[in-house]
Amino acid sequence: MDLFFYFLISLVAILVCCMVFSNSVEWLGSKLNLSHGITGSLLAAVGTALPETIVPIVAIFWGINKADLVKVLMGDLETVNSVSDISMGAIIGAPFMLSTVAFFIIGFSSWLYFKSGRRKTKEIKVDNTVLERDLSFFLFSFTIAFGAIFVNHTFRVIIAVGLIIVYFIYLYKTIQEEKNSEFKGEELEGNLDEFLLSKLIPALKPTLFLIGVQLVISLGFLIYSAHHFVEVIKEVSNRLDFPPFIISLLLTPIATELPEKFNSWMWIRQKKDTLAVGNISGALVFQSTFPVTIGLLFTSWQIHSLISYMIFIFCLISAGIVLFASKTKKLNYKVFLFGGIFYLIYLVAVLVQNL
């Protein structure tokens, strides 16, 4: 009972920190007058992806001494097994949750509002340039990440550097394409939740300074909460005799990824499809580069169960289906519903194998 209580407290703490952090990021985007593509694929995506990136970083770096850290980086010493597994579970779990459950949420919410009459078409209308760019980069990066499982540490270091370069190329292309974009009609402003500091103290106005203060405070509490969450996951794994990799993969994204993806539900409701889908597709690019780089450098980046290969395969297939539908102009809610099927198949496979 005590373990469940601590798990619940750490889960809620991370969720609250994510909400405050996301509120800060969205207000920052509004203040900077960023366009729909950059807001969705860059600012909102990275802003909502950063919290779950904190978990593996904290798992790896909290409490490790400098000498051991250097050995890990040189490939002479792996991080403690449970820490390595928790980190890998969090890193791989984020794109898995995004490309399955988060895509399913897009499809289900679109279907729901179509059936209720709020949406007049089955089609999900996005800026295809944004979506196809994002998913193409994700498929490339995550395929490379998958391949890195089968090479030695030296090659993984080279791949890690390459993925960072890939992300900066993505940033450049996103900004350049946004300048030439003819897609109109989606703005984030007017759909923002109230600035939280102003909600607590009405006299405070959402200036850039206060937005920055709220962002930094939420990030600090997020790091602290993530540390306790990692410790709880270790204990849950020990008591249930369940692999820490699986525990982390299934639970960490629930605390850090899924709540923020309900932003996409709201944007679908408001017929702001590019923001809804771009929030997820942009996060996929980020999650397949920066967090994966951390995993390649500071974990064993090894999978101990053949069934875990399904994670990579399902991520790539789900994203590939959406990309193909976008290119063939057949993007509708049915395409996104496939993600939920892949998640259920993996969940059932894991339960059958471990129970």
Map residue 59 onto helix, strand or coil. Answer: helix
Pick from 13-22, 74-83, 154-163, 246-255 the range whose average pLDDT is largest.
154-163
2-354 in CATH: which number? Answer: 1.20.1420.30
Tokens of 311: 């994670």
Of 145-159, 206-220, 235-249, 251-265, the poorest mean pLDDT is in 251-265
Residues 224-236, mean pLDDT to the nearest whole number: 76
What is the per-residue pLDDT across 320-346, written as a single tens digit (0 to 9) for each? 999 999 999 889 999 999 999 999 999
C-alpha distances in Å from residue 122, one per residue of 97, 127, 277: 24, 16, 15
Considering all CA atoms of the chain, what is the largest pairwise distance in Å, rounded to the nearest integer? 62
pLDDT at 342: 95
More confident residue, 136 or 186: 136
Per-residue pLDDT for 39 more than 70? no
pLDDT band, residue 256 (cuts 50/70/90): low
Percent of the chain's residues with pLDDT above 70: 81
DSSP 8-state secondary structure symbol assigned to residue 149: G
Average pLDDT of the chain to the nearest whole number: 81
Per-residue pLDDT for 278 more than 60? yes
Q: What is the amino acid identity at position 194?
A: E
pLDDT at 81: 58
What is the signed CA dihedral for 315, 178, 106, 20, rounded to 10 degrees? 100
Domain edges within the chain: 2-354
pLDDT at 185: 46
C-alpha distances in Å from residue 11, one per residue of 79, 85, 150, 231, 232: 24, 19, 34, 12, 10
* Three-state SS letters, 268-310: HHCCCHHHHHHHHHHHHHHHCCHHHHHHHHHCCCCCCCHHHHH
Cα angle value 46/49/51 (rounded, 5°):
120
pLDDT band, residue 16 (cuts 50/70/90): confident
The residue with tokens 């920055």 is: 212
**d(C-alpha 58, C-alpha 76), whole Å:** 21
pLDDT at 26: 74
Cα angle value 252/256/260 (rounded, 5°):
145
Map residue 332 onto helix, strand or coil. Answer: strand
Per-residue pLDDT for 222 more than 60? yes
How many CB atoms sit inside 10 A of residue 246's CB? 21
pLDDT at 134: 93
9 conformational bin, left if phi > 0, alpha if psi -120 to 50, beta if neither: alpha
